[in-house]
Chains A and B, each alone.
Chain A
Amino acid sequence: QMQLQESGPGLVKPSQTLSLTCTVSSGSISSGNFYWSWIRLLPGKGLEWIGYVYSSGSTYYIPSLKSRATVSLDVSKNQFFLKLNFVTAADTAVYYCARGAGRFDPWGQGTLVTVSS
């Protein structure tokens, strides 16, 4: 059964770049024509979908984050990534990676990222 696991720094300073990795196991990131998404749980505001990368490398982002977010993948490592530039305290959230676009399954366990100096 496919599993996803997020990793990355738990603390990022304001104005810097948040960088997260999602490692996929028990399945290939390049097979099955899947989309790979990042989603975050903002405190007091709920879940927000950030964007996806397709197995071909094409990407799509929610317009409100398009100028700051980059999602990419490394097929050789079976990983995909999120970079979010110029972070502020409003970007403090639990970040999840998930397979899919439209519906998301499975999800990673999530990783808390706090933006603070």
Chain B
Amino acid sequence: QSVLTQPPSVSGAPGQRITISCTGSSSNIGAGYDVHWYQQLPGTAPKLLIYNNINRPSGVPDRFSASKSGTSASLAISGLQAEDEADYYCQSHDSSLSGYVFGTGTEVTVL
């Protein structure tokens, strides 16, 4: 179902910087549609982490940053903390599927 591809898992030690890629195509990210990122902590609802490619909602630490280029986007977490262990999803719109689409999801583990 997912047309946005993410690595299944990424891990890092506390304090490290990790990045999560989100690879799309010319019908979604490459077409200029905005990318949003969500964090899902274990047993909780997904939470908006980044919106419109680079923006953080109020309350989201500036350790989280994101970028978009061409047909891909990426999320970076710097100063990794144990509380960052969660699943992360990217999301955009796809003109071929005529709807909103999500990434495959990435599980972040803090070593």
Contact = CB atoms under 8 A, between A and B. Distances in A.
B44 A46 contact: no
A46 B2 contact: yes
Interface string B91-107: 10100011111111100
Nearest to B51: A103
A28 to B, nearest CB: 20
Given A45-B1, A46-B104, A48-B102, A110 B45 contact: yes
Interface string A6-47: 000000000000000000000000000000010100100111
B91 A104 contact: yes
B57 interface: yes
B9 interface: no
Nearest to B3: A46
Size class of the B contact interface (CB-based, 8 Å): 20 to 34
Interface in B55-104: 57, 89, 91, 93, 97-104
B102 A46 contact: yes
B1 A105 contact: no
Given A102-B34, A103-B36, A109-B44, A63 B1 contact: no
Contact of A47 (B2, B45, B48): B2
Interface of B: 1-2, 34, 36, 38, 44-48, 51-52, 57, 89, 91, 93, 97-105
27 contacts: A42-B1, A45-B1, A46-B1, A46-B2, A46-B102, A47-B46, A47-B91, A49-B99, A49-B100, A49-B102, A62-B98, A62-B99, A64-B97, A96-B46, A101-B100, A102-B36, A103-B34, A103-B36, A103-B48, A103-B91, A104-B36, A104-B48, A105-B47, A106-B45, A107-B46, A107-B47, A109-B44
